[in-house]
């Protein structure tokens, strides 16, 4: 009985931290993707001990369990497909330790990504992975999805900056994976856990690596009439041995959404802009900046601007970080994709993406991490139009196939989740998938721990309500 389950959860965390009324559950039925699933209950634990107790209770009751961070995920990883219990970790938001001598921090999973760098700034340190949602997304979710961000071209993604994890296993046991040195002997279970999308356990404490702030940073905006020229520039910069901290690209449609909203200084008649940042020692940043400017001009940039003040730099980045939100000016809904292609194939892949949009009748706005070939095409649509969601999903599948056929990967940072599980067979053999699936029982997990995620067929096996039926059950024209 749900009433008995709710009462037991309330005994663990307190009555005010268990949600079970329909009006309270609605806000937990979605994340940043276009999928939905309503939980039976939501519990908000405060301690590792409470998380472990909830996990044990769910196991004993035979209830599916889904870990959840801030709900900013973009592949459906926090969507409950089989009802069950959502374990929301947003109350666990303490920065427990900043250790400047060893350049690390110990944080709880509900700590907002940007708050780590803010806390470390007094010591001249920062936390490198910086998803575009870093003002809202939490470190626990970053660990689950192995999140990236604009500056991961030079610094790497989440797995390169997490030293150790305290984890509640699906059995309710509490273990540490890795250690504070980052050099623990034996199997790298820390690395296995990061990016496992909530299917192997719940991280309750996270030890992250901090880096010293660079002495100098140079931020440049290169403006192009043709997106193909911008793509060619990216390959040439990397090919010349310059590894910028970030190389971001926005196309014309994105610029036209961003500029009226943010006033970042992007010309609205440009075909594309590149936002490029180099950093390091003062002399190094200056030399690399000059090289980048010359290469941009050689590939047809009509103008290259260099931010002369911190305020100008922040305004340029505000345009990039605010791009997704600004797309709401162009359409009521967007479907963001996440694929990776070789940098050298960016121009032709972008042409194919445009062709897919024309085929299905949807505008596509491109804003992405060009330096590492991590594309984020945004398909703009109105879910109220009959059949729009199905056509959007079909267009998305074609774009992902283009990425794979170009020699790329299914995800750069958003994960597989619900969205791309049926594409896994494009890049992995049955033997590959079987080997990965054996990790779940090795961690004590079964199909009730974040069910329906990652593997082909998992969604159907979780018994979820089909998308169209679920939408009709909520309300016609409900906003996703």
DSSP notation for 344-402: GGHHHHHHHHHHHHHHHT--EEEEEEGGGTEE-EEEEE-TTSTTHHHHHHHHHHHHHHH
Tokens matching residue 108: 């709880």
Same domain, 187 and 266: no
* pLDDT > 90? residue 219: yes
Residue range 291-317: average pLDDT? 96
User: Where a domain ends, among 195, 212, 229?
Assistant: 212
Task: Supply the pLDDT for residue 467.
Answer: 42
pLDDT tens digits, 198-214:
999 999 999 999 999 99
The answer on 301 and 205 residing in a single domain is: no
Verify that 146 and 220 share a domain, yes or no.
no
Q: Of 326, 353, 378, which closes a domain?
A: 326
- The answer on 151 and 184 residing in a single domain is yes
Residue 268 within any structural domain of the chain: yes
Question: Do 310 and 258 reside in the same domain of the chain?
Answer: yes
149 and 112 within one domain: yes
Residue 466's pLDDT is what? 39
Give yes or no: residues 225 and 314 share one domain: yes
Which CATH number do you get for residue 250?
3.30.70.3450
Q: Is residue 33 part of a domain?
A: no
Domain assignment present for residue 305? The answer is yes
Confidence class of residue 455 from pLDDT cuts 50, 70 and 90?
very high
Residue 126 falls inside a structural domain = yes
In a domain, 84, yes or no: no
pLDDT beyond 80 at 463: no
Helical residues (DSSP H) of 269-342, grouped into ranges: 282-298, 310-321, 323-326
Q: CA–CA separation, 378 vs 472, rounded Å?
A: 24
CB 377 within 8 A of CB 391: no
For the chain, how many structural domains are there in total? 2
> Quick one: pLDDT band at residue 156, thresholds 50, 70, 90?
very high
Same domain, 252 and 271: yes
> What residues contact residue 351 under an 8 Å CB cut-off, 6+ apart?
228
Q: Give the span between the Cα atoms of 375 and 233, in whole angstroms.
A: 16
Whether 465 shows a pLDDT value over 70: the answer reads no
In terms of pTM, does the model score above 0.75?
yes
The CATH number that applies at residue 204 is 3.30.465.10
Residue 479 lies in a domain: no
Asked if 157 and 237 sit in the same domain, the reply is no
Closest CA to 58 of 213, 211, 169: 169
- Burial class, 9, CB count within 10 angstroms (exposed 0-12 / middle 13-18 / buried 19+): buried
Q: What is the pLDDT of residue 471?
A: 38
Q: Which of 326, 344, 375 is where one domain is finished?
A: 326
pLDDT digits (tens, 9 = 90+) for 373-391: 999 999 999 999 999 999 9
Instruction: Name every residue whose Cβ is closer than 8 Å to that of residue 472 and which is 6 or more positions away in sequence.
Output: none
User: What tens digit of pLDDT does each residue of 322-348 get?
Assistant: 999 999 999 999 999 999 999 989 989
Please give the residue range of the domain that contains residue 164: 95-212
Q: Does residue 186 fall inside a structural domain?
A: yes
- Reported as a single tens digit per residue, the pLDDT across 157-175 is 999 999 999 999 999 999 9
With pLDDT > 90 as the criterion, what percentage of the chain qualifies? 90
- Give me 178's structure tokens: 């890795």
Query: Across residues 470-479, what is the average pLDDT?
Result: 32
- Across the range 144-157, mean pLDDT stands at 95
Same domain, 170 and 130: yes
**Pick from 281, 283, 273, 277: nearest CA to 252:** 273
140/166 same-domain check:
yes
Instruction: Kindly report the average pLDDT of the chain as a whole number.
Output: 93
Q: Is residue 129 predicted with pLDDT exceeding 90?
A: yes
Mean pLDDT, residues 394-421 taken together: 96
Q: Is residue 83 part of a domain?
A: no
What DSSP state is assigned to residue 332? S
Q: Are residues 225 and 185 in the same domain?
A: no
Q: What is the mean pLDDT of residues 101-105?
A: 98
């Amino acid at each position: 009985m749900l009433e008995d389950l709710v009462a037991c959860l309330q005994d663990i965390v307190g009555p005010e931290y268990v949600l079970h009324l329909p009006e309270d559950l609605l806000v937990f039925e979605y994340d940043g993707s276009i999928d939905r699933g309503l939980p039976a209950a939501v519990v908000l634990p405060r301690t590792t001990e409470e998380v472990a107790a909830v996990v044990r209770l769910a196991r004993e009751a035979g209830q599916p369990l889904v870990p959840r961070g801030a709900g900013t995920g973009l592949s459906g990883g926090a969507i409950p497909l089989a009802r069950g219990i959502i374990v929301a970790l947003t109350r666990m938001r303490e920065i427990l330790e900043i250790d400047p001598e060893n350049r690390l921090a110990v944080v709880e999973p509900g700590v907002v990504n940007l708050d780590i760098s803010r806390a470390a700034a007094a010591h001249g340190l920062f936390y490198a992975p910086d998803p575009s949602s870093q003002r809202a997304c939490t470190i626990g979710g970053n660990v689950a999805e192995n999140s990236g961000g604009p500056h991961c071209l030079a610094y790497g993604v989440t797995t390169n900056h997490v030293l150790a994890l305290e984890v509640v296993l699906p059995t309710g046991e509490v273990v540490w994976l890795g250690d504070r040195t980052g050099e623990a002997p034996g199997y790298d279970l820390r690395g296995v856990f990061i990016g496992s999308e909530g299917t192997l356990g719940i991280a309750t404490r996270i030890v992250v690596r901090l880096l010293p702030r660079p002495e100098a940073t140079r931020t440049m905006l290169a403006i192009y009439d043709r997106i193909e020229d911008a793509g060619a520039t990216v390959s040439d910069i990397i090919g010349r041995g310059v590894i910028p901290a970030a190389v971001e690209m926005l196309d014309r449609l994105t610029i036209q959404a961003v500029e009226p909203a943010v006033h970042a200084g992007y010309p609205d008649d440009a075909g594309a802009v590149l936002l490029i940042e180099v950093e390091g020692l003062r002399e190094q940043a200056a030399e690399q900046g000059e090289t980048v400017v010359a290469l941009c001009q050689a590939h047809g940039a009509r103008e290259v601007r260099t931010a002369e003040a911190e305020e100008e730099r922040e305004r340029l980045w505000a345009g990039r970080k605010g791009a997704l939100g600004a797309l709401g000016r162009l359409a009521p809904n967007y479907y963001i994709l996440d694929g990776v292609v070789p940098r050298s194939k960016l121009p032709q892949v972008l042409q194919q993406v445009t062709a897919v949009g024309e085929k299905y009748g949807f505008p596509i706005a491109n804003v992405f991490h060009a330096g590492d070939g991590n594309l984020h095409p945004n398909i703009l649509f109105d879910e109220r139009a009959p059949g729009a969601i199905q056509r959007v999903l079909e267009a998305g599948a074609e774009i992902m196939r283009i990425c794979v056929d170009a020699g790329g990967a299914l995800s750069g940072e958003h994960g597989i989740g619900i969205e791309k599980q049926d594409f896994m067979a494009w890049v992995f053999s049955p033997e590959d998938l079987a080997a990965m699936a054996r990790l779940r029982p090795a961690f004590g997990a079964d199909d009730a721990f974040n069910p329906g995620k990652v593997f082909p067929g998992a969604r159907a096996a979780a018994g979820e309500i089909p998308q169209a039926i679920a939408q009709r059950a909520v309300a016609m024209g409900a906003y996703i």
